[in-house]
Amino acid sequence: MKPKVYIARPISQEVEEYIGEHCDYRKWEGEGRIPLDILMEEIKDVEGVLVQHAPVTDKLLEGAPNLKVISNSAVGYDSFDLEAMKRHKVLGTHTPFVLDETVADLVFSLVLATARRVPELNNFVKQGKWDKETESHDLFGIDVHHATMGIIGMGRIGEKIVRRARLGFEMDVLYNSRTPKPELEEKYGIVYSELETLLEKSDFVVLIVPLTPETHHLMGEKQFEKMKNSAIFINCARGAVVDERALIQALETGQIRGAGLDVFEQEPVSPDNPLLQMEQVVALPHIGSATEKTRAAMAMKAAENLVAGVTGKNPPDVVKELQELLEDPHRFSEKFNSK
């Protein structure tokens, strides 16, 4: 008998067929994101589930005693309650590497769009405001090339941002991460910096760390105060890494020049969020990895992790905090032999 799984987000025919070769599956066919109560009902009897950002809580795991693997079709897994997953011996997987270049492209599109005021000036032209008189200083932006970029988070995506910044735009790059990266310093000529110095010196501050208890509100009032008045802040990580009230204040008071945001503390962002009224803010709907090709690659990776997790193999992309479960000899015997 094939193992039962649930597919909680839309995937392509190809990925569905791959899952179908190895598993009996049901899938979410409703509009938009699956509501949590329906997800909980649907996974009561399954051994694996494919999700995207769905909150994995103790309660959800309690109600799904057969679960062996939760495959997240995203690289960030702040939606996982890791301690609860350890207790329930449920593997959690994600989709690293396949989205790095695509997300780095989006970071640079936010850098360029904010620096050169692309959405604002696009509206200006389309609204017929461009006339003979408007070759004006009011439309000017700031240079990206040869400016200083400070990158907070120097992991898989951080490195791809560095390559664009150094080789494409000949920028100076400062970075901050938990551990220094001497090999990247040598390869690209980037410089490790304490957070405070990075904030003081950078023309563009780019945030690309995971959301964890340590990084929650990493950027707050004190941090924005350190930034130059001429600097632009880019967040392509998670909304809650930033104290959004402090960011709004920094923009309203001119403490910083502008912001490019792919993520928000509340998603979807509320239409009355003050950030959406600001011309110096470029706002996107959390689409860092959203190209056709990359989303397809993520879905296939998520499917491979799902299938491995329910067929007794070690999924290739178990998140690092849960890898200890792979070494637990009882996990397989308890979960697999009991079925």
Ligand X SMILES: NC(=O)C1=CN([C@@H]2O[C@H](COP(=O)(O)OP(=O)(O)OC[C@H]3O[C@@H](n4cnc5c(N)ncnc54)[C@H](OP(=O)(O)O)[C@@H]3O)[C@@H](O)[C@H]2O)C=CC1
Binding site for ligand LL5AMS7Z (CB under 6 A): 74-76, 99, 288-289
Closest to 47 in 3D by CA, of 308, 303, 310, 307: 310
Kindly tell me which of 255 and 289 has the beta carbon lying closer to ligand LL5AMS7Z. 289
Q: For residue 57, what are its two tokens?
A: 């809580």
Residue 297: strand, helix, or coil: helix
Q: Which of 172, 176, 170 is nearest to 153 (CA)?
A: 176
Binders of ligand X among 169-228, rule CB under 6 A? 176-179, 208-212, 214-215
Sign for the pseudo-dihedral over CA of 144, 146, 149, 154: positive
Active site residue 14: no
- Residue 98: which residues within 8 A CB-CB, separation 6 or more? 294, 297, 298, 301
The one catalytic residue among 22, 116, 156, 286? 286
Q: Give the C-alpha separation, 285 to 73, whole Å.
A: 17
Q: In this structure, what token pair is assigned to residue 308?
A: 């491995």
In the complex, the smallest distance separating the C-beta of residue 149 from ligand X, rounded to whole angstroms, is 15
What are the structure tokens assigned to 134, written together? 């408007």
Q: Using the minimum distance from each CB to ligand LL5AMS7Z, give the nearer residue, 74 or 310.
A: 74
Minimal distance, residue 321 CB to ligand LL5AMS7Z, in Å = 15
Residue with tokens 């240079």: 143
Shortest Å distance, C-beta 62 to ligand LL5AMS7Z: 26
* Shortest separation between residue 247's beta carbon and ligand X, angstroms: 16
DSSP for 319-335 reads -GGGGGGGG-HHHHHHH
Check if the beta carbon of residue 90 is closer than 8 Å to that of residue 72: no
- 144-173 mask for ligand X (x: CB under 6 A)? ---------xxxxxx---------------
Active-site hit among 267, 279, 324, 334: 267
Q: How many residues bind ligand X (CB under 6 A)?
A: 30
319 near ligand X, rule: CB under 6 A: no
CB nearer to ligand LL5AMS7Z: pick between 94 and 181: 94
Alpha-carbon distance of 228 to 250, in angstroms, equals 11
Tokens of 182: 């001497």
Q: What mask, x for binding ligand X by CB under 6 A, covers residues 12 to 51?
A: ----------------------------------------
Q: Which residue is nearest to ligand LL5AMS7Z (CB)?
A: 76
Residue 75 CB, shortest distance to ligand X, in Å, is: 5
User: The tokens of 102 are what?
Assistant: 């695509």
Taking CB under 6 A as the criterion, which residues in 281-300 touch ligand X?
A: 286, 288-289
List the Cα angle 181/214/190 in 5-degree steps.
20
Q: Which residue is nearest to ligand X (CB)?
A: 155
Among 238, 257, 295, 301, binds ligand X (CB under 6 A): 238
In the complex, minimum distance from the CB of residue 311 to ligand X, in angstroms, rounded to a whole number? 27
- What are the distances in angstroms from CA 230 to CA 3, 226, 259, 286? 57, 12, 11, 25
Contact 44, 63 (CB under 8 A): yes
Annotation says 238 is catalytic: yes
The angle formed by the CA atoms of residues 246, 251 and 255, to the nearest 5 degrees, is 90
Q: Which does 157 bind (CB under 5 to 8 A by kind): ligand LL5AMS7Z, ligand X, none?
A: ligand X
- Please identify, using beta-carbon distances, which residue of 93 and 176 lies nearer to ligand X: 176
Give yes or no: 245 in active site: no
With tokens 């809580």, the residue in question is 57
Residues that bind ligand X (CB under 6 A): 75-76, 96, 99, 103, 153-158, 176-179, 208-212, 214-215, 236-238, 262-263, 286, 288-289
Mind telling me the catalytic residues?
238, 267, 286
